[in-house]
Chain A
């Protein structure tokens, strides 16, 4: 592949690579962080990275918003000029569900704090073994 080919590849794909970096940050936080609230933040970052990926699938270069004007009523619209609305619909509900799961996750974290008086995973393990 020539240099120009590589540059074209980077310009075409760099967005996806940054989404993958975000996804990895979220996943790493869920695996490696010991604090429960940090884990929940990591889960949210993973969720938003996936939503970002879906939304970016919907984009079309040089297209307009998926809201039609009344002058479009009579004839069929050329679909290349309007951004794909389907991923938006799926992700819109996903965001609201993500805040609901966030509420449940925080409730669980608060229950754990009330019981073990700490949010750190290793301290919780130590206290579980003690009792």
Chain B
């Protein structure tokens, strides 16, 4: 099997190398890919949509229908991971049992079945069964960095019109900030800040914002995802309306991508149990 696979792969590679002889030279400005459709985008996008970053304009406006279904694919992947891994059986009596650490001394207590800490004690904190050392430096450093990462993510989403960036990148960075929080603290703290239910609702909300914008254009007399129809509603001229429409859609994409990234991490790191994680 191994030899056969290697042979097949080498044959495949040889055929591809033979195919490259018909290719245009690397970096040729007059190659077929550069001469048919893309000149229209390069020459008209700034005039049509008032967005200097051509990639953003093409992504969310000219090919908006395409991007809508890419968002739907991400939504479906998040859903599939949830269905595959999520375990809903949580034993009630083990809620209070587990390992606890005394904050001041670092002594670890094990609370068995049926046992519980005295109510109102703040000196103990629950820790994961796979022992994670308490690291003040990592926690403090991550807490200091986190707001800036989140602010940068919002900047990337909002400034996608003028610089590299947009909904996908901003959403992933925002999700990565929450994942960093989960790694530096623990999964339970993160689940308190960003419950699982909220990520699931946000995933749907993001796709809904995207599709809703399209349907709104339809209701206002334009075509599906033709943001120029929003001009009357936003009180601007049709060109600026397309620019604003791109921003609305990018925010939807960012919310969906952020929620899916966090949801995927929750499910993978805790194997669907949502109690102990990485």
A17–B20 touching, CB < 8 Å? yes
- Chain B residues with Cβ below 8 Å from A69 are 52
Chain B contact residues, majority secondary structure: helix
| Closest chain A residue to B4, Cβ basis | A31
Q: A17-B20, A20-B20, A68-B52 are in contact. Are A89 and B164 (CB under 8 A)?
A: no
B26 touches A13 (CB 8 A): yes
User: Is residue A61 contacting chain B, with contact meaning CB distance below 8 A?
Assistant: yes
Separation of A82 and B42 alpha carbons in the complex (Å): 7
- Report yes or no: A24 in contact with B10, Cβ–Cβ below 8 A: yes
Known: A76-B43, A110-B85. 14 other contacts (CB 8 A): A15-B26, A21-B13, A27-B9, A58-B34, A67-B53, A67-B54, A85-B41, A85-B54, A96-B257, A100-B73, A103-B77, A107-B80, A107-B85, A107-B267
Could you list which residues of chain B lie within 8 angstroms of chain A, going by C-beta atoms? 1-2, 5-6, 8-10, 12-13, 16-17, 20-21, 23, 25-31, 33-34, 37-39, 41-43, 45-47, 52-55, 58-59, 63, 66-67, 70, 73-74, 77-78, 80-81, 84-85, 162-164, 168, 172, 257, 260-261, 264, 267-268, 271
> Which applies to chain A's interface (DSSP): helix, strand, loop or mixed?
helix
Our count of residue pairs bridging A and B at CB distance below 8 angstroms stands at: 160
- Asked whether B9 lies within 8 Å of A84 as measured between CB atoms, the reply is no
Q: Which residue of B lies closest to A103 (CB)?
A: B264
Binding site for B on A (CB under 8 A): 12-17, 20-21, 23-24, 27-28, 31-32, 56-63, 66-70, 72-73, 76-77, 79-80, 82, 84-89, 92-93, 95-97, 99-101, 103-104, 106-108, 110-111, 114
